[in-house]
Structure 1
Amino acid sequence: MIFLRGKGIIIAKKDIEEADRYISIFMEDYGKVSTVIKGIRKSKKRDKTAVDILSLTEFQFYKKNDSLIISSFSTVKDYIGIKSDIDKINIAFYMFSILNQVLVENGRNRKIYEVLEKSLDYLDKSNDNKKNYLLILFFLNTLIKEEGISIEDNTNIEELQVDVQPQRKVEMDNMVKEILQYLFKDNLKVVIDNEKYKIDFIKKAILVLENYINFNLDTNINAQKILWGALLW
């Protein structure tokens, strides 16, 4: 039996039976993996935080057939700065909802993992709502690139307008187009520094990319539900 080690972020959990927990982990070296932690909810000795959603955890495990069996685990980061702020929690869960739909079991993507870990590190310490929403934009754009669905000409923003449900249709005005252009040019600092780019415009840009991802990857990510409840535009 060969034991392996690796770190990962818990992106989903479901309590089952009386004491067990089913978790999905996005691991740096092994991609998305899912497993059951037996007896964890009744244990008084094991680190329960390490196998709770929104934790960065170091695992020791081995593989049995197609299953991953975890032998030990310990918390690396618990992101208390995120967990103590409902808006930050919603942003983290929004990212997780995307990953749970896009990632395939055992599918590896180190770039997306690295961006997720850096995003959580930033969000954990940030107190700037505008930058936090721009962080979402950056995350969505990374996903688009890594999934191979980038528009061929990043200056042609109109290509992002796809057929969507009427209730999700976004009016892409000039401010939104400019934000997206700066995003594609890796120059979001202009958006950060210029007060004319209000948070509402950034939210609309998020929805444009979300619609584009949903259309191309057949997903159902929903910022209106997870991040804001309803938009008042």
Structure 2
Amino acid sequence: MDILKSKCLILKKKDLNEADLLTVVFSKDFGKISGVAYGIRKSKKRNLITLNPLNITEITFHRKNGYYTIVETELVRNFGNIMKNIEKLEISLYILDSVNKIYDINYENEDFFNKLEEIFDFINNLESLKKGYKYYIVLTFLRRIMLEQGIYDTDEINRELGVEFSQLYREIAMIHKNNIGNIEKTQEDMEKYCYSLRKIVEIFENYINRNLQVKIEIKKFIVEDL
């Protein structure tokens, strides 16, 4: 039996029986892991809250015959401001779901773990989040996924976007570049691109789904008329 310990981003949890909990995490040192915390839902000594999605928790696992058992947990941080804001929560849950669907068990990437922590820290610390900028954050996340998975090809992306949205994508990128350090101004300038940002997100999604054989869908997390 191996003992593993790592800082983990909680992606998903599911109740098992009356007392157990199945938890899927993206760990810093060992990649994506699915493990069971036996008896945690009825234990007075173990903190169930540490395994809530979006928390970053240090977890000790026992690994035997390819199966993982969660034996100890300690909360490192939770993103409290995200939990208080529906706009922030929508895109955060979408990011968690996308990572869970795209990355295989035991996929190891410490740099990507650090980037995910940075993304959630950024979202958590935003004073406000306008609709257009919400989609821009999703867009940058999807671009990061494509780069990580080795499927980002500028020519192919431009063909997917077409002439109109390729131009709009460049305009949106220039807004960010011209307003570096001024998030409030960036958000204001991007509001007029709300519809275009959502359409570009959907195009990126379709490209990722086709190339990686997955099904991520922003519409399941953000339901609104633009």
Relative to the length of structure 2, the TM-score reads: 0.85
Query: What does residue 208 of structure 2 align with?
Result: 213
Deviations 1:59-106 (A, max 9, x none): 122321201222211101121111122221111110111111111011
Query: Hey, which of these two has a bigger chunk of helix by percent?
Result: 2
Cα drift, residue 136 of structure 1: 1.6
Percent identity over paired residues: 32
Q: In the alignment, is residue 17 of structure 1 matched against residue 10 of structure 2?
A: no
Unaligned runs of 5+ in 1: 163-170
Out of 118-127 and 201-210, give the one that drifted further.
201-210
- Give the total of aligned pairs: 216
Given that 2:158 and 2:166 are in contact with CA atoms closer than 8 Å, whether structure 1 keeps it comes out as no
C-alpha separation in 1, matches of 2:166 and 2:147? 24
Given that 1:112 and 1:143 are in contact with CA atoms closer than 8 Å, whether structure 2 keeps it comes out as no
C-alpha separation in 2, matches of 1:223 and 1:152? 23
Query: What does residue 128 of structure 1 align with?
Result: 129
> Aligned-residue CA RMSD in angstroms?
2.4
Q: In the alignment, which of 209, 221, 225 is matched to residue 226 of structure 1?
A: 221
Deviations 1:192-232 (A, max 9, x none): 656543251322222221121112112211112212x2444
Query: What does residue 189 of structure 1 align with?
Result: 177
AA of the residue aligned to 2:25:
I
C-alpha separation in 2, matches of 1:136 and 1:38? 35
Return closer, same or farther for 1:23/1:161 CA change in 2, 3 Å cut-off: same
Cα drift, residue 152 of structure 1: 4.3
AA of the residue aligned to 1:215:
R
What secondary structure, in the 3-state scheme, does the structure 1 residue paired with 2:152 have?
A: coil
Query: What does residue 118 of structure 1 align with?
Result: 118
Given that 1:55 and 1:77 are in contact with CA atoms closer than 8 Å, whether structure 2 keeps it comes out as yes
Cα drift, residue 161 of structure 1: 4.0
Given that 1:13 and 1:22 are in contact with CA atoms closer than 8 Å, whether structure 2 keeps it comes out as yes
Q: In the alignment, is residue 178 of structure 1 matched against residue 179 of structure 2?
A: no
Given that 2:4 and 2:62 are in contact with CA atoms closer than 8 Å, whether structure 1 keeps it comes out as yes
Return closer, same or farther for 1:177/1:219 CA change in 2, 3 Å cut-off: farther
Given that 2:55 and 2:75 are in contact with CA atoms closer than 8 Å, whether structure 1 keeps it comes out as yes
Q: In the alignment, is residue 138 of structure 1 matched against residue 136 of structure 2?
A: no
C-alpha separation in 2, matches of 1:176 and 1:52? 35
Relative to the length of structure 1, the TM-score reads: 0.82
C-alpha separation in 1, matches of 2:154 and 2:84? 41
Q: Within 5 Å, give how 1:22-61 maps onto structure 2.
A: 22-61=22-61
C-alpha separation in 2, matches of 1:67 and 1:214? 29
